[in-house]
Amino acid sequence: MRNILVVTLSNLGDVIMTTPVIMALAARFPEARLTVVVGYKACAVLEKSPDIDRVVSYDKRMDRRSKWRFVQALKQDGVYDCIVDLRNSPLPWLLPCRKRSPLWRRFRRINMRERHLEILDMMGLGMVNPPPFQFFDPTDERAALAKIHARGISAQRGWIVIAPGAASAKKRWPVADFQAVIRRLVEQTAKPVLLVGADNERPTAEAVAQGMPDHVVSLCGETVLAETAALLSRAALVLANDSAVMHLAFELGVPTVGVFGPTDHDKYGHGGANFRIAREDAAACSCDSASRPYGERDCFHGLGPDKVFQLCVELLRTERGGTGTA
């Protein structure tokens, strides 16, 4: 194959979970021209990858004429040998193509990351363990280190990263619980703690940082995504809500605790020795949230700092070469 188009998603976290598909295709067809269509809000996820030849941003709010021009621009690439559509949109059927992902799909898996890879299996293009995606380059790494050094953190690596924000307010674990875990981590490890997230999550991060020791630093809104990825790659541990930072840390292979309450941990969580899902039993909670669809839930079902702290300690022991439980 010489000309491949991947139609991916719109939100940061969702796009991060599609990067294994991109890398599977890049590894299998290294000589192919690889074009990726992505929602305009998530272009930053893909912009550092040397394996992508062209990133095309898409805004689903475009009017009909703009959409027509968008399709015509993609047609200028000629006939695509393969179009992998992770949105299940009409786009592949509007473009000249020799092989398309199926419109009707029966998935064997629940997890969204695994489902994206399963689409390649349906097309006979699957790959076990695709190579890692490149989210940042050395320039981003230097810029990120300069920012934390300017804030008084002299370490080069081994810090703890906390992401207390999330796109939806109901996915944010309470500030007081994050604070309780951070205090215990600082007491036990003496590691610097970096708070990260988007600019609109800055108030949450500042609330978490209130009253914390000097080596708990908020960088929320001060780093672009590639710089955040560089900081995550050098972390000893990441603690995050179900968010883009959580997915990014997992793809970077960093020990990560993902905090889940209202969202489906089977669908959006991860597995493996370096990932822990922090959740409580919804049936033990007095609210009726568990009986509602996931999109309407708003409760962490009594998930407290003790359980989350213990999961963090497990991963820190593993990071030090101990016997953390998988």
Tens digits of per-residue pLDDT, 55-91? 999 998 999 999 999 999 999 999 999 999 999 999 9
Tens digits of per-residue pLDDT, 175-227? 999 999 999 999 999 999 999 999 999 999 999 999 998 889 999 999 999 99
3-class SS of residue 57? strand
For residue 37, the model assigns a pLDDT of 97
Q: Where are the domains of the chain?
A: 3-122, 138-319
The vertex-155 CA angle with 165 and 142, nearest 5°, equals 75
- CA atoms of 173 and 169, how far apart (whole Å): 9
What are 265's two structure tokens?
């941990």
CATH 3.40.50.2000 is held by the domain 3-122 = yes
Tens digits of per-residue pLDDT, 225-270? 999 999 999 999 999 999 999 999 999 999 999 999 888 999 999 9
What are 4's two structure tokens?
């491949």
Tell me what the mean pLDDT of segment 118-135 comes to. 94
Q: Do domains 3-122 and 138-319 have the same CATH topology?
A: yes
Assign domain 138-319 one CATH number from 3.40.50.1820, 3.30.565.10, 3.10.350.10, 3.40.50.2000.
3.40.50.2000
In the structure, what pLDDT confidence band is assigned to residue 290 with cuts at 50, 70 and 90?
low
For residue 318, the model assigns a pLDDT of 76
Maximum CA pair distance of the chain? 60
What are 208's two structure tokens?
């978490």
